[in-house]
Each structure stands twice: as structure tokens, then as C-alpha cells.
Structure 1
Amino acid sequence: MDDLTAVRELSDDVPELTDEARTAARFRLQRAIVQEGRPRPLSRRLMLRAAVAGTAAAAVAGGVVVTARHEPGTDTPQLTNLSAAQLLRRAADRSRAGGAGTPVPRDDQYVYTRTYVTRTYVKDGRTRTWTDESWLSVDGSRPSRREEHGTVHNDPPLGEHEVMVPPTRYADLAKWPTDPDELLKWLRMGTDTEQGYREAFMNACQFFVVPRVMPPGLEAATFEAVARIPGIRIDRQAVDALGRRGIAVAYPKFDFAFVFDAKTYAYLGMRLTGSTVTYRGRKATHHGWYHEMSALRELGVVDRIGQLP
């Protein structure tokens, strides 16, 4: 049995996918190879993982961990009439102003993160919280340890041709453009259609899904690239994982949204509406929908797993 047949059979018992789940699987499987200097093709193993990740509709590890590097202040007056694009441009300015002290890691080091996560289930209003710690190899050549929703995963080193799209390796991230127009082309994976813009929004979200140290200017350029995506919308009633009032920026029919501080425009985290699916053999069990927010409480660069900044 080939891999694609396995994926098709796996999907037989899975609830109907949302648009964002289909896109999350699709953008990892399509257009992984583009012009010189862009991410290399996904390995066969990661391609199969990506397909299953889309099928599980955010039930797998790595789909809901979101970072927020900046702590908001209270010295900037709130401007309630900003459009989504205007808000993103102000968030980009804030990112540039606050990024001077961002560490530049060595390949042999680890990115340490401590993340606060809160999940509220739609059916009964029950809320769960986690504080997760992770040590991720900077260049992927060493084992990593990541904690997600209280479960520790000991990941092996990445294979030679295994990369994420967008990448997590710092050296690969440094190849991505910091010009917003050029970055948007990369995020669209060369597709100048409505689907290309949908993929661009999802790719931009993926920059923040897995904790990583962003090279100078890349975070700001990402916000400005998203500001150029037609159809982005704004929600002024968002609240982040720590109860801070925020403004969310989303794309129609997507359950992911960036959340920014309502006063300072600092990036707070990402809002997600998802569903949990577990498997026993090939039988899938759907456990209902939830709303989730995550906030990065600490980010640093260390020399070994277990070390704190």
C-alpha cells in the first residue's frame, strides 16, 4: 500500500474538514519547492505527517502552540478606528522597535520557550490551562524536547531533507526576505489567486505556531505582508490567554487569528478554534470544538536541554 492510499483510508473515519484544515494540509503538500534559496522539498515522512495533520483538524501536536514575545505597556492611546491593515502596520513598527535585543542563536544551541495555554470547550464551557516548556534545536541537528498541552515529546534530529514550511532552522529563516512585497510572494508560494492568499495567511500563521527566534526584521515584514492580503478582517473584542484585551486579525473562514494588544499593538498570540480527534486503530473519535489562546511567557537561547536562560 502506498502512502497516499494510506492517507485516503485514514480519512474515511474522520469528521468533515474545515476550510483551514484542508488548506493547512494542502500548503504543506503543494509548492514546497520554488525558486533557488527558498525552502527545500518536504521529505516523504513529513509530507505524510502534514496530510494527517490536516485530516485531524488541529488535533495533532504543533498545531496550537503560538508565541508572543512582547509584553504590552499602557502608554499608547487606544485607536479604535484602525483597519486590519493599519493595525498590522503599527504592529510591524512595534516589532522593529522592540527587536533590537533579539538573540542570534548558534546552530549548536537551543531555543527555550515557556508558553501559557488556555483552552475552553464549546460544549460545556470547561477550561483547561497548561504551562509548557520546550528546548528546540536551532539547526535541527540535535534531539529536541517540546512540551505541548502538558505532554513531553522527545523529537529526533531532523533528517537532511526534512524542513517545515516556513522553516524553523534559523539559517533557513535568515534566507527569507524582509521586504513585505517579496515576502508575500514567498508566502503565496508563487500563486497569485484567492487560494494563494489563503495559503499566504496560513503560512504567516505558521511562523508563530512553532516557537522560533525570528531573524531581524522578519516578524515585522510578516505583519506587513499580511496587511497586503485582500479580505483580512478585524475583531476588536478579542482577549488573550492571560485575559489581556486585544484586537484580532483574521482571514474569512479561517479559525486562526493574530491577536495584538489594543493599546500598544504588541503581538500577544494567536486565537484558534479547533476540534480534538483521537484514534484507536483506524477508528476516529471527535471530542468537540474548543477555543484556544497561547502566550509566550519567556524566550531565550541556551546551550543544552534543561538549561534555563
Structure 2
Amino acid sequence: MDELTMVRGWEADEQGLSDDARVAARARLGAAMAEESRGGASRGGVLSRRLVFRTALVGVTAAAVGATVVVSRDAGDDHKPRLGAISATEVLRKAADRSRAAGSDLPVPRDDQYFYYRTYILRTPVKGGRTRTWTDESWMSVDGSKPSLREEHGKIHHDPPLGEHEVRWPPTVYSKLKAMPTDPDKLLARFRMGRPGSPDNDRYAFFEGCMLLMGPRVMPPGLQAAAFEALAKLPRIRLDYDAVDVAGRSAVGVSYPKTEWTFLFDRKTYDYLGLRTKGSSPRKVHGEWKQANWYYETRSLQDIQVVDGIGQHG
């Protein structure tokens, strides 16, 4: 199976691929193939045939937008909100500061260990109906040399070890994440895949940033903060203001026009809470795939640990 056939095949998957996601996937595929081709000469011309950058959240559209959001509190009551205007850029910068201040209490992982993740997913139909929830657990090999177990919407996937020449974006291997730039300008250039800033290129850059932070993966020190600061440099980012609740915490969202992803942050602390999307379940009608049963989906990381094997919880 060639790589473009793989991309086309994803479109018939349970989640489906939107136009933005499809174009971005093909762009990443082309960039990955070009990179492998350049590196292939030094490896005797061996090219990867297994370019893996599949995402569990695709086929979604932009959420409601707003220019400002209530984020401050009344001086006499820390729990009483009052009006205050803040930009999407400021939210991302404050989230970066919060990420650096929070740090991580995880030990430096060994290559033979696993990252354990527990992710909470909430799916609500747009036109009303039964809300569905999942609490997925995954065990990902730190260096990719061992099989991993990944749960998506309650379904178990047994992922084989990564191949020597396998290209995966965003990476899940800790050493590759650690090698990514933590300078916001350099990281933004990576998100744009070296292309100049423009509405289209910046939209794909925002998509790449969402993919990096979607998980499951562990952010080495400074990478998450750098990602927020890099995306804060995009001139068209905006706030989504519709009182999203993430596991009991009121959230403010940051998105980009004509994209399908929204970062969610705690309104009071600016802690990163997760991602929200709007998606649909494709249906085949008269031989053609149609989008139907639209829903909002929120995904938030509940726990992460370094463990020695699959099945352990830290």
C-alpha cells in the first residue's frame, strides 16, 4: 500500500478526515518523504514505507468565536468573576508561563520504560442526544523499541515497535521530542514546515501545534511552553468564549480561523486542560461518504506516569 493510498484510506475511518486535516496530512506526508529521501542517501537509499502520523481526532470544524473573555476576579472575592478583556495572544503567553512554573514531577525516563496515560473524553451531540464518555488508558514505549498499547474511544490498539526508518509526526519517542527546539521562533518555523507566514500556512501551523499537544506523549521540559509561545505569534489567533466545562473546570478556548481545533485553558490559572473539536461520524450514502451525526468532543489528560511495563499504573 502506498502512502497516498493510506491517506485516502483514513478518510473512510470511524472519525473521518476533514478538508483541513486531509490537506495538512498530505503536506506532512510530502515533507516527511522529502526528509527521508534526503536522509536515504546516507543510508544506502533505504526509504521508509510506513509514515505514521494518524490522529484520533479528525474531521472537525471551528467552534464559536469571540474577541474577549472574562478572566479576572473581583478584588473582594477570589471566586467571583468580573469583566476583564484579554487577547488570545495573552492567554497563550500566560499558559506558557504557567507551564514553565508548574514543571514536571516525572522522573527522567529510561529507554526501556513506558509512559502511562489516562485520558478523559467527553462527546456531546450538537443537536442533543446521549452524551458519551471514555476514560482511555495507554502505555507507550519511551524509545519506541517495544510494543505499545493504546486505547482510543474504548478500543484497544496494539502498536508494534517503531521501525528503524519510520517517520512519525508528531513524534512519540521521547528522545525525538527532546531534540525539538524550545525557541518559539524556531518551533514556529517547524510548525510552518519552513514556509513563510500566510493565512494558509499559519492555519496549518496551528494544526501542527494541536497535533503535538494532543498526545499521548510526554513534553520534555520547556517544549509545551515553547509551543504555546510559538502559536501566540500567529497574527489571527482568537478566543472561543462559550463557557466550556472540562471535568468541572470552566475553560476558555484559543483557536485559529477556519481550523478545527480549540485549545482549552483554565479561566483562573491558565493551566492547559486539553483540546476540543467538532466532528461527525461518516455515513456511506449511494456509494459516497457523507458527514452526519455532528458532535463536540473534549479530550483532557487526567494522569501520566513513568512505569516499567504495560498494565502498570505508577
Q: Same fold (TM over 0.5)?
A: yes
Moved more, 2-11 or 159-168: 2-11
Q: Are 1:164 and 2:163 an aligned pair?
A: no
2:207 maps to 1:202: yes
Offset from partner CA, 1:58-103 (integer Å, 9 cap, x none): 7xxxxxxxxxxxxxxx979967311000110000000000014243
Partner amino acid for 2:29? L
Higher CA-based Rg: 2
Instruction: Give the one of 35, 42, 49 matched to 1:44.
Output: 49
Instruction: State the partner residue of 1:138.
Output: 142
Give 1:31's aligned amino acid: A
On the 8 A contact 1:42/1:163 being kept in 2, the answer is no
CA distance in 2, matches of 1:267, 1:230: 21
Paired residue type of 1:91: A
Q: What corresponds to 1:293 in structure 2?
A: 298
Q: Distance between the aligned counterparts of 2:278 and 2:39, measured in 1?
A: 28
Query: For 2:290 and 2:157, how far apart are their aligned partners in 1?
Result: 22
Q: State the AA in 1 paired with 2:214.
A: V
Contact 1:13 1:283 (8 Å CA) reproduced: no
- Kept in 2, the 8 Å contact 1:57–1:277? The answer is no
2 CA distance for matches of 1:167 and 1:155? 14
Query: Which has the larger displacement, 234-243 or 112-121?
Result: 234-243
Contact map agreement 1:33 1:39 (CA 8 A) in 2: no
Once the 2 structures are TM-superposed, how far is the Cα of residue 35 of structure 1 from its aligned partner?
Answer: 8.0
CA contact (8 A) 2:122 2:134 kept: yes
Q: How does 1:44-193 map to 2 (within 5 A)?
A: 44-46=49-51, 50=54, 57=59, 80-192=84-196, 193=198
Stretches of structure 2 that go unaligned for 5 or more consecutive residues are 41-45, 61-76
CA contact (8 A) 1:39 1:172 kept: no
Q: CA deviation at 1:4?
A: 3.9
Instruction: String of CA shifts for 1:157-189, please: whole Å, max 9, x gaps.
Output: 111122322211110011111111111111111
TM-score with structure 2 setting the length: 0.80
Q: What's the offset of the Cα at 1:19?
A: 3.8
Letter in 2 for 1:20: D
Contact kept, 8 Å, 2:16 with 2:282, in 1: the verdict is no
1:255 aligns to 2:257 (yes or no): no
Contact 2:177–2:219 (CA under 8 A) maintained in structure 1:
yes
Q: How many residue pairs align between the two structures?
A: 288
* Alignment correspondent of 1:32: 32
What's the offset of the Cα at 1:18?
A: 3.7
Letter in 1 for 2:230: A
Higher strand share: 2
The SS at the match of 2:170 is: coil
Q: Aligned with 1:307: secondary structure?
A: coil
SS at match of 2:50: helix
- Partner AA of 2:244 in structure 1: V
Q: Distance in 1 between matches of 2:10 and 2:299?
A: 29
Code of the residue aligned with 1:112 in structure 2: it is: Y
Q: Is the contact between residue 57 and residue 274 of structure 1 (CA under 8 Å) also seen in structure 2?
A: yes
For residues 110-144 of structure 1, the C-alpha deviation after alignment (integer angstroms, 9 at most, x for no partner) is 11011111101224332100111110111111100
Alpha-carbon distance in 1 for matches of 2:15, 2:309: 41
The 1:31–1:145 alpha-carbon spacing in structure 2 relative to 1, beyond 3 Å, is same
Q: Which amino acid aligns with 1:225?
A: A
Query: Aligned letter for 1:57?
Result: G
CA distance in 2 between counterparts of 1:272 and 1:246 reads 14
**Aligned partner letter, 2:254:** V
Pair 1:111–1:237, CA change in 2 (3 A): same
Provide the secondary structure at the position in 2 that maps to 1:207. helix
DSSP 3-state at the match of 1:136: strand
In 2, Cα distance between equivalents of 1:10 and 1:215 = 30
Change (3 A) 1:262 1:5: closer
Cα distance in structure 2, aligned partners of 1:214 and 1:14:
28
